[in-house]
Structure 1
Amino acid sequence: MSQPRAIIPGATYLLTRRVLRRHFLLRPDSAITRLVIYSLAVSAQRYGILVHAFCVMSTHIHLVATDTRGELPRFLQRFHRIVALGAKILRAWEGPIWDHEATSVVHLSTRDALVEKIAYTLANPAIAGLVEHAHEWPGAKVLVRELGCGTLRARRPEIYFNPKNPEWTEEATVPITLPPMIADSDAERFRREVTTQLDLHEKQARATLKRQGLSFLGPARASKISPYKRATTVEPIRGINPTFAVGRGRIDARNNAIAAMNAFRIAYRKSLEQWRTGARNTIFPIGTWWMRVFHGVSVHNGELAEA
């Protein structure tokens, strides 16, 4: 049984979803780029999701976003479902698109964590040895200069989306906003901090490939690789599934995050045990989502959000 996760309105996350068996089904061609951006835009608009950073790799998607209404599970379900159904058509693919592992959801609770994870998201094509500079990646992405002021825009794909359904608008857009933790007056400094981390990732990627006697794949070759092939590089076994990030060296913030997580889990388990005995008036802790949505339990302060 998985641990309960608090879903709190206003929380910012790094979200990662991987393709089944590391197939290149999200290869960066125009059709996939259009599908993913359109799906993200309509899903984010429906569930009040603010998009801060985004990068679609051939084998996975990274998204940094804020869940303004505490509906993250609904958003993820819809976004990933639309992308999967569209990709199955575009790739003539039978069976699931996504890996059997659940979406990685990492709460970013400090400014340092935001800088580190947004830089990591944007630098992913370089880190993977695909392009020397992240901005060269031909797939859907956000650039540093777009943080807080850019827009992702896509026309409705010809496949899957019924043009007669008013839900599927002819064009969908989603602004690239600053995380709520970052004030508009601090935007330039924030972008500089992300740039510094991004440059470091790119430098380390160049050094790694040079040491291995390899070169970057390049944007042209990355766009033409067969979507039915699989990544062959060795990927570390994912033994740890983090639920939060506070930034390197932030010991006090890490301890506070652990204490808050444990307090929620203890309170949730206690409430769940009481509810299972028939005490339907049990109050669940703030952050409870599943039990509130599917069983109508009461939550402290009346509202919201555990996946």
Structure 2
Amino acid sequence: MATSEQKQASAARRAKNRARGQARDYPRVRARPIYPGSRYKVNRRCAGQLMMFAPEANPTELNNLIGYCLARAAALYGVQIHASLWMSNHHHTDITDPDANFGAFKQLLHSLIARGRNAQLVRDDSVWSGARPCDTQRPADDHSLVDLVYTLTNPVKDGLVKWARLWPGFTTIGWRFGETRTFKRPDCLFDEEGDMPEELSLTLVRPPVHPELDDDALYDKLMAEVRQRELEIQRSMAAQNRRFMGLTKLARQSWNKAPKTFKKRFTVAPKHAASIRELVLAQLPRDREWEKKYAAARALLLAGKPALFPAGTYWMRRFAGVDVAPQAP
């Protein structure tokens, strides 16, 4: 239960967010631009923070389901997977979206996973939280591996396992760039006589960073940074006299339980992330300018007048057939 101080802090954040919104000189815009070739860290949490993807004693069936659905969504929409790790109640997946299919990719992936996991657990309720997912876009000029390191070391950061490679749930740690793995069609979800392939393959694609390094050298650099981060977390845990949960306790973790930690409310979900703060700050005024153009075009459309939406408009282009300006070269 939240304390009085925590409730007051939540109210203060909500008031600050409301004031920030009222300071805008244009109507609120929930849309965001989606450009071809953009990089994202996809993140989504389970409803009520339930540990729907707890690996339990035998995670083989669960990991195969996630791998198959991830391979299906990536192949259908041409999305490149750089890293993916599924924690007990959320996941982190780093991608590049060459064809601006980000929204369709997420919808299919999360839909397939939700239906498949419900079938495995013999339940029919929501799997994903209704809160807006915290998907962050990375600037094209950020050549850091920090996002992949964060993804792969998430179980270590949360005090579950001492080394990232020990995580029994679905993870791409240990996959080399260019490596392909195959997953079988889950019997729990798809009909044998349906149109889903019996097997699907997923290839781990190197991110567009450090072009001076070949695939093997980039992988070695990533693993070195992962180990450095693991050691930092271990030292921090030891200084706090904390222990890692370990595989034995993880195997007893039930899917219908939730963490008891307090979750802050009314926080601002970031749209961009980078290893250098200035890269994010440079993107914010571009977002504001795009939102102004989008709001102006939306007002014209609602007034029945010709409207040209800015480049990067996704939903209105795909589902409402509006005119969209070409993307600048």
**Do the two structures share a fold, i.e. TM-score over 0.5?**
yes
Deviations 1:200-227 (A, max 9, x none): 4312322333233331111343133111
Deviations 1:128-179 (A, max 9, x none): 1111000110111112x5342223431111111112112x111111110012
Structure-2 residue corresponding to 1:259: 285
Give the superposed CA RMSD: 2.2
Deviations 1:42-69 (A, max 9, x none): 1111111110000011111110011111
Matches within 5 A, 1:36-185: 36-110=66-140, 112=142, 114-143=144-173, 146-166=175-195, 168-183=196-211, 185=213
**Distance in 1, Cα, partners of 2:103 & 2:265:** 25
Do residues 30 (structure 1) and 55 (structure 2) align? no
Structure-2 residue corresponding to 1:15: 42
1:22 offset after TM fit, Å? 1.6
Asked whether the equivalents of residues 37 and 100 of structure 2 are also in contact (C-alpha less than 8 Å), the reply is yes
**Distance in 1, Cα, partners of 2:128 & 2:273:** 24
Structure-2 residue corresponding to 1:233: 261
Give the residue type in structure 2 aligned to 1:274: L
SS of alignment partner, residue 301 of structure 1: coil
Deviations 1:65-96 (A, max 9, x none): 11111111111111101110111111122310
**Distance in 1, Cα, partners of 2:182 & 2:97:** 20
Asked whether the equivalents of residues 108 and 244 of structure 1 are also in contact (C-alpha less than 8 Å), the reply is yes
Give the residue type in structure 1 aligned to 2:197: T
1:187 offset after TM fit, Å? 3.6
Asked whether the equivalents of residues 108 and 246 of structure 1 are also in contact (C-alpha less than 8 Å), the reply is yes
**Distance in 2, Cα, partners of 1:158 & 1:242:** 38
Moved over 6 A (4+): none
Rg bigger for which structure?
2
Asked whether the equivalents of residues 182 and 190 of structure 1 are also in contact (C-alpha less than 8 Å), the reply is yes
Asked whether the equivalents of residues 288 and 299 of structure 1 are also in contact (C-alpha less than 8 Å), the reply is yes
**Distance in 2, Cα, partners of 1:181 & 1:268:** 31
SS of alignment partner, residue 271 of structure 1: helix
**Distance in 1, Cα, partners of 2:104 & 2:318:** 10
**Distance in 2, Cα, partners of 1:234 & 1:56:** 21
- Identical aligned pairs, as a percentage? 25
1:230 offset after TM fit, Å? 1.2
SS of alignment partner, residue 34 of structure 1: helix
Matches within 5 A, 1:178-197: 178-183=206-211, 185-197=213-225
Asked whether the equivalents of residues 39 and 140 of structure 2 are also in contact (C-alpha less than 8 Å), the reply is no
1:182 offset after TM fit, Å? 4.8
**Distance in 2, Cα, partners of 1:109 & 1:238:** 26
Distance 1:50 1:184, change over 3 A: farther
Distance 1:206 1:233, change over 3 A: farther
**Where does structure 2 lack aligned partners over 5 or more consecutive residues?**
1-27
Task: Single out whichever of 188-197 and 95-104 deviates more from structure 2.
Answer: 188-197
SS of alignment partner, residue 104 of structure 1: coil
SS of alignment partner, residue 146 of structure 1: coil
Distance 1:176 1:94, change over 3 A: same
**Distance in 2, Cα, partners of 1:219 & 1:111:** 39
Structure-2 residue corresponding to 1:216: 244
